[in-house]
Structure 1
């Protein structure tokens, strides 16, 4: 029987009241410990930092602290669900930071979707942290917000939905190409989703040397004749759709070697995968529901399948 992870997750979250807690690095077992951790002893590091702000990296948790910032406007494949609903996802990301990198990450959701207000808020809390991780902020605002914060802050700023996703996709694709025996110079790629992730993936794959790409959004293939393109999409045309294709996702995917989905669930059928080339690669990464489920992608003839979920088998390699 297949597990209902959403119901199980609600049960666990209700029991634990979230996923995070604050744990002291300094034990306080007696009056002496308290005098060192707090007053009067704490005045020592406070005054030292007042004389030299850089000492905050040595005397506080700043160096290992990251703020996970979201306005809840583009959460997974759930859409604009707001800051409160985004908090479980931000807590989950903080858990991953701690588990896999031993970084102390703090989820912070903002009750505004105004770009100026977000920039002001992040700048105001920046002294607490050694880095800023932007998460689940909708495009095209996410590009402006990230660029402004990079220019105006002295600490690292990264929009995870762009760069984190793109790096993982490229890493997976490098190995997938080895599995199917294809070369990056000769493959054709269809990327469905022209938001933050899709834009970053397209740019990184191009830098890697994959130049035969078509990107699609909710209205179909991004191409020169369309009058509704945002400035970001107009920029993408310079490095994509060299054959000037037009039409729908179904048109784009025909004869493609690789499909990369960062859009929404259940967009493709096995019959769509059958129109791709032999030994097709399918990265269907919409969450929580992929563009096509792995078993259906296999049915359509895909040899390598990846998703954005953690409940599928870690490795799938289908015979050609």
Structure 2
């Protein structure tokens, strides 16, 4: 868990980038930080690995203050993915991915095994890609390498600073899907900065909405859609988007099977495919279950969590506006 306690950041020119911020990034969840340009979202993220330091306040990781931690050691323990990808062009993909394990002095055999398993995890066959150089890969492939390089040292925390914003729409959507699937496997604490609300609603477990150095609202995608905290949050999400997604609440679950998971989930709550999305959200909230097992006539059709339901609405919206 990452916790900010009354954190303020004032730059030498007097600009106050963060104003008395107190917030928690939950463990093993993907938290998106979003807001207009200059709202302080990147500054907030960069404080986690001490690329920026607070003027006032404290930051804790697992309830331990990071103030006394040595910067290099802290940064090597935290994965970091940036918009520009940042792969070293003169290094092979294998050497790029293995950078942190080598700095941590892992044994060569362990490092090589880690490189192979990470490349497989993002659909890049090691025998095909690990001896290639970054410029021999597409932009989407390079960004996949950037993501697994951040995972190579097996950090508990990963910071992602608008990592997909420079990609074309098709590659970006695919990487968003890949990130969600990857997070289900690796269960890391991820802080993801973006300015794209559709991206935030699609991938986030929790969303932090910022404006002018302050936090306007923290909530799940569904909570933001259902109950925007104020006029700013409502306008930033977009009233049209809110109304369209609310209207999808009346659609039946069986209409969205193509975007739900097929793999079984333990401890899922059974619900009929005839139930609406609104009814599904209500049942999940009442039961405390994280996943729904969608059934029809005793047959399992798919599995879905609350994020999948929001994602289904987004996909439906995209299809009907084409």
TM range (shorter): under 0.3
Q: TM-score, normalised by structure 2?
A: 0.24
Task: Considering fraction of residues, name the structure with more strand.
Answer: 2
If you compute each CA radius of gyration, which structure gives the higher value, 1 or 2?
1
User: RCO (CA 8 Å, sep 6+): is it higher in 1 or 2?
Assistant: 2
